[in-house]
Chains A and B, each alone.
Chain A
Amino acid sequence: MRAYCHILFLYTLSSPEGLLQAVIARMKTPRIASVLLLAPTLAAAETPPRDGLPLESLPLAGFVEVTSLEQLGNLVVTDTKLEQSADTVTQRIVVLRSEEIEHIPSPNRNLAELLRHTSGQFVNVLSRNDANWGSYAGLGPKYNSYLLDGLPIDAFVDAMSLDSAAIERVEVHKGPASVLYSNYLSMDFVGNQTPLAGTTNFVLKNRIDTPLTRFSAGAGSWGSYRGSAYTQSNAGQLGYILSAGHERADYTPYGMPGSWLQTTQSPHYEKDKFFLKLNYALDRPDHTLSVFYQRTFHQGNMGRPNRDFEHHYDTLNFAYNNAFATDWHLQFKYGERRYDRNFANDDYPTSLALVNRENTRQTIRPADLTLSHRHGQGAALLTLGVDAQWVDYETDVRSPAGGVSAENRAQARSTGYFIQEKVQLDQWILRGGLRRNTLQHDYARLGGNTPATSAASWSKNLWSLGTRYKLSPGLAFYANAGSSFMAPVAKQIGGTISSTNISGELPNPGLKPESGIGRDLGMAWQPSRELAIDLRGFLNTLGDAIVTNIISATPSQVRSENAGSARALGFELDARYNPSTTLSLFANLTRTHTRVKDPSNVDHNGTEIPFAPAELANAGVSLRLPGDLHAVAYYHWVGRYYDSTSRAGRQGFGHFGLVNARLYKDLVHNTRHEVRLTLDLNNLTDRQYRMPFDFRDPGLNAFVGVDIRY
């Protein structure tokens, strides 16, 4: 008789397919009060202020150079794929602009850390060489997708490698994301990612009005050295950005003593990044071609003689924009994301000798064609289009003798058709949309074997609704709901074994995708020019959750099945206060109650969703001090969270607070040059807190840098 024992609900809620160890081996800030209240985006100006003057004090001729229509209008793009005023969006959007991005501490140089101090976000970057294994709105890391200029990227890998210097702003789109964006079909790391709890759009710099060249260099704890060069300019209708950077460190051991991350020698890593951005206005400013390409080299060793790694990441975004008539706008986007990752494995603690080298190659090509039509005398915006993705996934294992075996060979593709209508009726904004999504998986080889099931496909219809009501100029209410789904990963469908007599995962070709519904209800209140308060409640539910069951102990066999459900209920409270042009403050609190329902397994039934802290809190202050000194400080509190749904097997984490600070001193400030000294002090209270998978934070660290711009 089969002994059904449900294990690792975590498996589908937050973690990837069973290659966990291998996988792992891998503000609200200064706001210039009056400026922000009149045009909150002005704080984002890229070009340094002239003559040491704050932005709002520039003469008009200089002011228009460092601002744009987009900034003046406080525009966001994620809601409809066209720039619209943020207060016409039915969902809550938090916008972090380039100047704020420069001020936000990022101890691990990970883009996800930019979001750490926004409400609802549990950013859990495991190390400088590893991904963010966090959660958003009570759901694990697979349910909050990332976009790069509207095209999906990997929320795990790409945040490690992309350069923040390329980013104009980050739009954190809270709640069930609109039907306009598809899942990310990654077959590596955590697998598919879906915008159920929210989506975060990293918007690339597009506008280049003035030339700027910038050199920065610095050194810090653990023998860290970093240098970068950046230049932007334009020639006629062509605007361009070129940037290159190098970073290296003897990064302190970041694993728990005695764990699989134990080091026997000094670890180190090097990271080189290069990116190019071109933007060409064909005949009008709203008829453009743009290309972004970034290559990242990341290599080093994890502190043992045969635990070296070498990764190459390529990211390409191409976009064509044409507002070809007063009421019509066409966009076409195409991207490539190439991941080529190599790891050496030993047999620690038994032996430090080389066991094998793993190579993972994945290429994902997303494309999107969107047509927008403004009608109803400008009060309505219709958005419709088609998107697609093509994925090639291969992994090989090379033995010490040089023999290569093919472990995985899989392909995936998706097609989505979407339509959305957004209407403004007096003080009401109404939004509704539909998506039809079809996914196809093909498996030629899984886990070194030819799978019993070679293909699987699913089609799903998704919906999204939202409304916003403006009660007064300073007070609005909103509500949203939307559906989403998560396809099973390859080995859950195809299995990793073809015989019933060996250990591995058995195929389940009938496995259904997980389905989810996200809902939120909120209030945006600005009682005065200085104060803004936002309150948002959310309820996210998952059905047909995929759990992995033990089928046999000898041989060790498991099979994934649809069972159980999960829900996350919570609220986010945000407050921002800008009492003067020299001081701004923010604070936020998130409380989340999560439950897993799996009556067939008492060990799991009623437990919390993994990686979802019960509380998160942030507070921050930004000060502009006399003598061209600027200080920002952030406090971040993480409540209790767990790494599994098994009461018997899970570990508890969290219950710690972090203080990070940055100080700036402008040494030279004139019409042609700016020289700035920076000091980063991270984890000031030296909390070497534990993280899942035997990681720990290495504690207090400092970095001193100099930044020259002209």
Chain B
Amino acid sequence: MKRRAPRLRPPLLRGLLQCGLAALAAVGPTPAQATSGELEAKIKAAYVFHIIKFVDWPSLPTDALHLCVAGNDGVTLLLADLAGKQVKERPLKIDSDGSFEPAQCQVLYVGRPERRWPELQARLRGQAVLTVSDQDGFARGGGIVGLYPEGGKIKLEINPDAARSANLRISAKLLELARTVP
């Protein structure tokens, strides 16, 4: 078979390959990458934001949707960055100074080190407040949405009974990606 002369000449090809090899030899990590812990916190905080879109409250205040934050860790610090973001057609208001009244929140994020969860849980009984946390066994213990690590990923578990008790409607889409716990 007669071969067609290539449009790109071999010397150019060799040069490109050499450049590629040189680049391979020179490669090294670039600075300023997020650490694993920071990224994990960011993914958990992003989950909180996206989960809100898939929950229906019996009624919502017109001015803002209140996300209250209890505890002090990487996730709770990050959540403050979401202030003003639009969700469910209203801006997100972050209450993280510890002075909030839990029943006035639409969402309560409980940080991993927060020890007041049993007390907060008692005050929230019957209130339409979505509770989210990465504490171990949070959903099994009466919280609505728990974040847990598995296989190097962050996953969701949902307690449908707790959601019903809070008069919240969890979208089937959210249930489809979470595991449900009694």
Same assembly? yes
> Nearest Cβ distance between residue B114 and chain A, in whole angstroms?
20
> Nearest Cβ distance between residue B163 and chain A, in whole angstroms?
9
Q: Which of A62-113 contact B (CB under 8 A)?
A: 63-64, 67-70, 72-75, 82-85, 87
The answer for the CA separation of A381 and B45 in the assembled complex, in Å, is 29
Interface presence of B82 (CB below 8 A): yes
Interface presence of B122 (CB below 8 A): no
Q: Which residues of A contact B173 (CB under 8 A)?
A: 69, 82-83, 285-286, 323
Interface presence of A554 (CB below 8 A): no
Interface presence of A327 (CB below 8 A): yes
Given contacts A378-B175, A701-B7, contact A61 B32 (CB under 8 A): no
Given contacts A72-B46, A582-B28, A684-B13, contact A60 B81 (CB under 8 A): yes
Contact of A698 among B2, B4, B26 (CB under 8 A): B4
The answer for the CA separation of A53 and B34 in the assembled complex, in Å, is 10
> Nearest Cβ distance between residue A236 and chain B, in whole angstroms?
9
Stretch in B96-104, B105-113, B124-132, B147-155 touching the partner: B147-155
Interface presence of A276 (CB below 8 A): no
* Contact assessment for A38 and B8 in the assembled complex, using a CB-CB cutoff below 8 Å: no
* Contact assessment for A377 and B182 in the assembled complex, using a CB-CB cutoff below 8 Å: yes
Interface presence of A699 (CB below 8 A): yes
* Contact assessment for B49 and A583 in the assembled complex, using a CB-CB cutoff below 8 Å: no
A54, A63, A374, A688: residue with the most chain B Cβ atoms closer than 10 Å: A63
* Contact assessment for A473 and B150 in the assembled complex, using a CB-CB cutoff below 8 Å: yes
Interface presence of B68 (CB below 8 A): no
Q: Which of A675-697 contact B (CB under 8 A)?
A: 681, 684, 686, 688, 696
Q: Which residues of B contact A253 (CB under 8 A)?
A: 4
* Contact assessment for B27 and A38 in the assembled complex, using a CB-CB cutoff below 8 Å: no
* Contact assessment for B172 and A329 in the assembled complex, using a CB-CB cutoff below 8 Å: yes
* Contact assessment for A61 and B82 in the assembled complex, using a CB-CB cutoff below 8 Å: yes
Given contacts A625-B27, A629-B23, A701-B7, contact A72 B47 (CB under 8 A): yes
Contact of A252 among B1, B4, B153, B176 (CB under 8 A): B4
The answer for the CA separation of A474 and B17 in the assembled complex, in Å, is 38
* Contact assessment for A69 and B78 in the assembled complex, using a CB-CB cutoff below 8 Å: no
* Contact assessment for A633 and B154 in the assembled complex, using a CB-CB cutoff below 8 Å: no
* Contact assessment for A57 and B34 in the assembled complex, using a CB-CB cutoff below 8 Å: yes
Binary contact readout B47-84 vs A (1 if CB under 8 angstroms, 0 otherwise): 10111011010000000000000000000001101100
> Nearest Cβ distance between residue A326 and chain B, in whole angstroms?
6
Interface size for B (C-beta < 8 A) is 62
* Contact assessment for A73 and B56 in the assembled complex, using a CB-CB cutoff below 8 Å: no
* Contact assessment for B46 and A64 in the assembled complex, using a CB-CB cutoff below 8 Å: yes
* Contact assessment for B153 and A74 in the assembled complex, using a CB-CB cutoff below 8 Å: yes
B35, B51, B171: residue with the most chain A Cβ atoms closer than 10 Å: B171
Contact of A72 among B3, B26, B50 (CB under 8 A): B50
Binary contact readout A296-334 vs B (1 if CB under 8 angstroms, 0 otherwise): 000000000000000000000000000101111100000
Q: Which residues of B contact A60 (CB under 8 A)?
A: 42, 45-46, 78-79, 81-82
* Contact assessment for A39 and B154 in the assembled complex, using a CB-CB cutoff below 8 Å: yes
> Nearest Cβ distance between residue A668 and chain B, in whole angstroms?
18
21 contacts between A and B (CB under 8 A): A34-B35, A38-B154, A56-B34, A60-B46, A64-B50, A69-B173, A72-B154, A73-B156, A73-B177, A75-B176, A82-B172, A83-B173, A83-B176, A83-B177, A323-B171, A372-B172, A580-B29, A582-B30, A684-B13, A699-B4, A700-B8
Which residues on B are within 8 Å of A, measured CB to CB?
Answer: 1-4, 6-8, 13, 16-17, 20, 23-24, 26-30, 32-36, 39-40, 42-43, 45-47, 49-51, 53-54, 56, 78-79, 81-82, 85, 150-156, 158, 160, 169-177, 179-180, 182
Task: Please give me the 9 A-B residue pairs with the lowest Cβ-Cβ distance, nearest first.
Answer: A378-B180, A323-B172, A73-B177, A69-B50, A60-B81, A473-B151, A37-B152, A286-B173, A581-B33
